[in-house]
Amino acid sequence: MLSEEYLADSIQRGKQSRTLEQRISRLNAYILPTSGDVPVTRWRVEHSRQVMEKGSKTLFPNATARTCASSWRRCASSPGG
């Protein structure tokens, strides 16, 4: 699932524990409740839009939502992802 790939990629890239905690928090608060745990091959632009819309209305400023979506896109396009 995409959420698992995202976290595995973060760990593999050596992200700090605080960064991982924040990413897990974002997954649980915004992404999974909005789009569910979507397989990588089924993630679409509409999923990203839903997550960004929800995030921009709550805790994330738009730049952070875009950054988060960009990270997911990188993970989804990485080899094996």
Domains in the chain: boundaries: 2-77
The reported pLDDT for the residue numbered 4 is: 84
Nearest to 5 by CA among 49, 37, 48: 37
The reported pLDDT for the residue numbered 21 is: 92
- Tell me which H or E stretch contains 57: helix 45-57
Nearest to 59 by CA among 28, 16, 37: 28
CATH architecture, domain defined by 2-77:
Orthogonal Bundle (1.10)
Q: Is the pTM of this model over 0.75?
A: no
CA atoms within 13 A on the CB side of 38: 19
The reported pLDDT for the residue numbered 81 is: 45
The reported pLDDT for the residue numbered 62 is: 53
Residues of the chain with pLDDT under 50: 81
Quote the radius of gyration of the chain (alpha carbons, Å): 12
